Each structure stands twice: as structure tokens, then as C-alpha cells.
Structure 1
Amino acid sequence: MDVVAIMEALAEQGITVILKADSERMAERREPWTFVASGAPSRDDVLVRTDAASVEQCLEACLPRLRELGLSLPG
């Protein structure tokens, strides 16, 4: 999965994307990755967020929801 291509595609559609690795949660062996996609006033202020153990798990949780909202994503 090309994370950069996904983030660029969302940004081109007016969505702000944040992908974060939290060192404290990692040290505590909790889900250290956070994915947040928000914005696009023409889409009723989209907000899709998840915390997960990996980047892949974040994307597996969030990408289907973003597609349901009508956003176009690569792959």
C-alpha cells in the first residue's frame, strides 16, 4: 500500500490527513499509530479516525469508510 499516494489523493480532494506514531503508547505496548482524515466542507466535515498497532491496520480500518463517503483512493 502506497501511504503517500493515499495521503496525496485525499489532500487533492480537500481532506487533511494525519498519520502519527506515538512513542509513549509504543513504550506502553498500546496501539501507537493514529490515522485521522478530516475536512472537506462540501462533504459535511468528514472525520475518520482510528488507533491501531500498525499503519496497515489503520488503513484497513479507515479506507473503506473514506470510500463509502465517496472519496476516490488509489488501489
Structure 2
Amino acid sequence: MDVVQVMESLAEQGVTVVFKADAERWREGRKPWTFVASGAPLRADLLVRTDADSVEACLAACLPRLREFGLVVPE
């Protein structure tokens, strides 16, 4: 899966997307990756967030939820 393509697709639909690797959590052995998607033109209450051990785990948790909101997310 192309993470940049996913983020661009969501941004085009009015969603702000943040993908982060947290060095402090990484050093502490805690889930270092964070994915947050928020806001959309017709869904001000949109907020999808997860912390996970990998990029893939973040996407597996969040992309189905974004699709439930009716957003188009590339495979």
C-alpha cells in the first residue's frame, strides 16, 4: 500500500492526515506510530486515530473506519 497515495486521497477529500513516528515511545518500547485523520467538509466530527507498533497496523486499524465514514481510500 502506498501511504503517500492514501494521505493525498484523504487530503483531496478535505481530511487532515498526520502520520507520526515518536522517538520517545520507540525508545521506551511503546507503540511508536500514530495515525490521525480529522475533519472533512461535511463531517466536522470526523476523528480517526490509533497508536500502533507499525505503519501497517495503523493502516489496518484506521482505513476501514475511514471507509465507514464514506471516504474513498486506495487499496
| TM band (smaller chain) | over 0.9
SS in 2 for 1:51: strand
Point out the structure with the larger helix share: 1
Give the whole-Å Cα distance in 2 for the aligned partners of 1:73 and 1:35.
Answer: 14
Mapping of residues 4-19 of structure 1, within 5 Å: 4-19=4-19
Mapping of residues 43-58 of structure 1, within 5 Å: 43-58=43-58
Q: In the TM superposition, what is the alpha-carbon distance from 1:43 to its structure 2 partner?
A: 1.6
Query: Where do 5+ consecutive residues of structure 2 fail to align?
Result: none
Count of paired positions: 75
TM-score (norm 1): 0.96
- CA deviations 1:30-71 (Å, max 9, x no partner) are 000000000114124310000000000000000000000000
The 4+ residue runs of structure 1 with deviation greater than 6 A are: none
TM-score (norm 2): 0.96
CA RMSD of aligned residues (A): 0.8
- Which residue type is aligned with residue 26 of structure 1? W
Query: Where do 5+ consecutive residues of structure 1 fail to align?
Result: none
